[in-house]
Structure 1
Amino acid sequence: MYALLGKTLKHSISPEIHAEIFSEIGIAAEYKLLECTIDDLPQIIARGDYQGFNVTIPYKEEVLQYIDYIDPAAQQIQAINTIAYIDGKICGYNTDYTGFSSLLLKNKIMVQGKKVVILGVGGSAKMVAAYMCNQGAQQVYLVSRNPATKVVATQAKIIDYRELETIERADIIVNTTPCGMYPNIADSAVSRELLKNFQVAIDLIYNPTETVFLRDAREQGLQTVNGLYMLVAQAVHAQEIWQQVKLETAIIERIAKKMQVYYEK
């Protein structure tokens, strides 16, 4: 038995994704949505009724204090989205990090030496910043509405949206904010005009499959990528940890194609 821990989960398709993974690898198991409060977390995690958890908003940082072993990537980001019980220890990982890596590899997006702008400063933004810095990006900017924001364990520079307007040329822009996510699909975090300064636009949103941010970027000639492949990839990587196996990339490809129908309008 596995579950997703979060505050509001009614729109999640994680059970469908994990059901597909169970089918692919021939395991009879169940994956549930487990809505809970912050006060419920220590008891749920310690009780051991489940063999593993995924963790989503707003608990990715909160669960750190209940973990015996924290994987180096999760330690750097200071956020956990996967919990496993291994050799009597509660272990924490960040498969969003490996999922994001899979997304970039699939789309042949190179990071080394590039100038990167990340919209947002939350847990997903910290994950993307850590990955970009680790892969040798020349410069990483995190864009915040509050430039006094502090971000742990990255070399990224914090700027505000006015400063973003002064960056005349960069390579990759990544939206990690919820701006443009269903049901507020008419929104975008940045102007259409600003996007012409970039070559690649990535939106971690996957509902809708093309946000206004990505549509504007595509119409400006940018390579565009949404977050659905990353969502599936991080789930597959979580299963690799829980089952202690290595799964083929083709599984991610097959499941991502199936999941796309949930968000095509």
Structure 2
Amino acid sequence: MFYKTLDQFLSQGAHALSRGPIALIFAEDAVELDTTLRHHRHCGFGTVVLFGARDLPLPDDLTDKVHHVTHDMRADNALPRAVNGVIRKSPGQWIFYCYNAEYLFFPFSESRTVGEMLAYHTEERRDAMLTYVVDLYAGDLRQCPNAVSLDDAWLDRSGYYALARPDPKNHNHPKERQLNFFGGLRWRYEEHVPESRRKIDRIALFRAKPGLKLREDHTFSDEEYNTYACPWHNNLTAAIASFRTAKALKSNPGSTFEIKNFRWHNSTPFEWHSRQLLDLGLMEPGQWF
């Protein structure tokens, strides 16, 4: 299931989007591409679509299970353009998006599917879910110079905080039920990260509807989609365990030589289990038990 262009996929492969939930994987390179695809198939997504270079190495056992769309990830607005194209073709479907070497975790994800979680979230009259991008990094950069290691993955157990999100259209007063979240490597190495990319919040799970558009800053044109909870109680949140920032910091000439080790006194091994993320407060079950 290979498509030469995004337009070809949206015109000829739209039938694939009828089976949800839909996972959109954006590959900036081939690092941990196979594990990313397998992880999200295991989560229970009905359709998995891979966007990236034509020559990405796709394992034989996934060739018939993943829709591969040639997409230039270096182009301006590459991700929003693809996501918004899928939104137009799949109204009513729940959609998730992430990059390669990123892994979705949600409360009780070891024993429940993403479809079960989204069914409950829908019953709570929510059309989007806040996810925190939790930075992972290899424990030994001498052994893993690209900072990626599934067997020796670490994360920060503290150092996360939130600030009010100002509304430029309302004299910069705080937006209702919206916050900007910070922490992880983007906070510790903020001098190497552009200010517009320091947030760790992402509305990565949402339900498509006509007219909805994803913006460059990972927020949506419908402001209710950008809220962390409904007005009457807390809602489910999820986390994306991500090597993307660590990988970028070690591949960027301006930062790679200044970073000898990502570990610090607040580092802890990542256990690859939703319980650890719940205990650290990096996601919450809301009213779902």
Higher relative contact order (CA 8 A, sep 6+): 2
With the length of structure 1 as denominator, give the TM-score of the two structures.
Answer: 0.29
Greater strand fraction, Structure 1 or Structure 2:
2
